[in-house]
């Protein structure tokens, strides 16, 4: 009983608040890491693109998992349906946009250059690394780690926007406007899902299914 009373004392509350601030610093101080990793992944250094992106994803995942206990990841049928539906709608949005914009000079080239990163990798290999670690790594880090931290200091909408802009900015290294647009809109959708349901499971499903559709099963180019 004494222990229970002690939890709510001013001293314990101050200590808890101080601990949260320190943890916040840790999360924000990791932000330079994805910029370095994406510069490496999209650069000309060996090995191949998908190998580099997989290694980069694993590093981000390991960083994000240090706060795994704070992230809700509860599988459910409803969450699975939500994830699949949002992924399909997101894919159809970009598919429609491609066919509307394909007559614009230079546009198709920006899309083709994204697929050029595949570099002869097998379809099976790409499908597997999108399933793990790339999709889960990006969601655990950007939504379950960075967005969740920003959300402790601002509104849910502000956290979605800020994390989406950060997620987009790591792709600036590609100098590809189409890829930047996909990253920004995808970030808004996945960030919005996480803000609404506070559960990373449907967000993971959505990101993975979208990646598999656009890079493996129903490519747009």
Q: Show me where the domains of the chain are located.
A: 31-217
Packing angle of the helix pair 107-115, 177-197 (nearest 10 deg): 70
pLDDT at 200 over 70: yes
Average pLDDT of the chain, as a whole number: 90
Return all residues near 164 (Cβ < 8 A) that are at least 6 apart: 184, 187, 188, 191
Q: Of 53, 61, 95, whose CA–CA distance to 214 is shortest? A: 95
SS3 83: helix
pLDDT computed for residue 23 by the predictor: 56
Residue 8: which pLDDT band, with cuts at 50, 70 and 90?
A: very low
CA distance 105 to 101: 9
pLDDT in the model for residue 24: 55
For 47-85, the pLDDT digits (tens) are: 999 999 999 999 999 999 999 998 999 999 999 999 999
| Out of 15-24, 65-74, 174-183, 190-199, least confident range | 15-24
124 Cβ contact list (under 8 Å, min separation 6): none
Report whether 201 contacts 74 (CB < 8 A): yes
Comparing CA positions, the residue from 200, 143, 188 lying closest to residue 164 is: 188
Contact 33, 112 (CB under 8 A): no
Task: Give pTM, 2 decimals.
Answer: 0.89
Angle at 73 between CA 68 and CA 77, to 5 degrees: 170
139-168 confidence digits (pLDDT tens): 999 999 999 999 999 999 999 999 999 999
- Residues in CB range of 112: below 8 A, 6 or more apart: 221
Closest CA to 145 of 64, 35, 202: 64
């Amino acid at each position: 009983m004494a222990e229970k009373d002690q939890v709510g004392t001013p001293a314990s509350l101050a200590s808890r608040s101080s601990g949260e601030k320190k943890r916040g610093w840790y999360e924000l101080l990791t932000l330079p890491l994805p910029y370095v990793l994406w510069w490496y992944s999209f650069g000309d250094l060996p090995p191949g693109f998908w190998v580099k992106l997989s290694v980069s994803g694993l590093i981000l995942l390991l960083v994000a998992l240090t706060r795994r206990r704070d992230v809700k990841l509860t599988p459910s049928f409803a969450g699975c349906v939500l994830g699949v539906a949002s992924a399909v709608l997101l894919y159809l949005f970009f598919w429609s946009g491609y066919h509307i914009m394909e007559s614009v000079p230079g546009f198709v080239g920006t899309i083709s250059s994204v697929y050029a990163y595949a570099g002869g990798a097998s379809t099976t290999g790409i499908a597997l690394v999108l399933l793990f670690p790339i999709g889960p790594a990006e969601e655990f880090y950007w939504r379950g780690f960075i967005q969740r931290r920003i959300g402790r200091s601002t509104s849910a909408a502000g956290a979605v926007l800020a994390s989406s802009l950060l997620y987009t900015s790591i792709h600036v290294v590609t100098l590809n406007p189409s890829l930047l647009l996909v990253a920004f809109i995808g970030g808004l959708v996945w960030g919005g899902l996480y803000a609404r349901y506070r559960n990373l499971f449907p967000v993971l499903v959505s990101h993975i299914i979208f990646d598999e559709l656009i890079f493996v099963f129903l490519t747009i180019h």
